[in-house]
Amino acid sequence: MALHPGDELRLQILIKIGAAKLDLSDFEGVEHAFQEALEINRKLPRRNPEAMLEYVRFLQLKSRPAEAEALLHETLSWNPLSPLAHLERAKLLAARGQWDKVVEEGEFVLRNAGEDEELLRSAHLLLARAYYRLNQPEKAKWHRSWIESH
C-alpha cells in the first residue's frame, strides 16, 4: 500500500527532506526538494509562507541573492504580515548594507514577534548591528542590552 499524503503534508515533508539534505551537504537534493515544495505551495488555496523561508535561506547560503529576494517578495505577497519573512528581508538588506531599511524591517519584526524569543533575539541582533552602522550607538546599546538580558 502506497501512501498519498495531501499537498499540505507533502509540502511539510519536502521542506523537512530539504533541511535534512542540507545537513548532508546534498545541495542538488536540497534544491530539488525545495523546488518541488515551492510548486506545491503555489497551488495551495492557503499558501504557507514560512515553509518557503527555508528555500530563501538556502538561496542566500548558495550566494544567490537575486533569486532569494524574488522568492522572498513572492512569499511576502502571500502574507505581508509574516514577521519571519520580514526578518529574512532584513537579513538580505543587511547583506547589501541598506541599514535604514534593516531598521525598518527589524522594528516591524519586533512589533509583530509576540512572545517568540528566537525571533525577538534575531531582530534585536540585526537592529543593534544596523544602529551601530548608522552611527547611533545609544540605540545599538539598547538592543545589545536586551540581548544580554534575555
60, 68 contact by CB (below 8 A) = yes
Q: What is the pLDDT of residue 4?
A: 62
The CA-based angle 36-62-57, given to 5 degrees, is 65
pLDDT tier at 115, thresholds 50, 70, 90: very high
Q: In angstroms, rounded to a whole number, what is the distance separating the alpha carbons of residues 108 and 114? A: 11
Most distant pair of Cα atoms in the chain: their distance: 63
Alpha helices in 1-150 (DSSP H): 7-23, 27-43, 49-61, 65-78, 83-95, 99-112, 117-133, 137-149
pLDDT-derived band of residue 5, with 50, 70 and 90 as boundaries?
A: confident
Q: pLDDT confidence of 3, banded at 50, 70, 90?
A: low
pLDDT tens profile 80-91:
999 999 999 999
Q: Does domain 81-150 have CATH number 1.25.40?
A: yes
Per-residue confidence (pLDDT) for residue 50, from 0 to 100: 85
Distance between CA atoms of 34 and 38, rounded to whole angstroms? Answer: 6
Domain layout of the chain by residue ranges:
1-63, 81-150
Mean pLDDT of 101-129: 97
CA distances in angstroms from 31 to 12, 20, 61, 82, listed in the order given:
15, 12, 12, 24
Instruction: With beta carbons less than 8 A apart as the criterion, state whether 15 and 49 touch.
Output: no
pLDDT at 111 over 60: yes
pLDDT of residue 19: 95
User: Measured in Å, how far apart are the chain's first and last C-alpha atoms?
Assistant: 50
How far is 26 from 41, CA to CA, in rounded Å? 22
Average pLDDT over residues 41-62: 93
Residues 50-77 have a mean pLDDT of: 94
pLDDT tens per residue across span 17-35 = 999 999 999 999 999 999 9
Residue with cell 517568540: 116
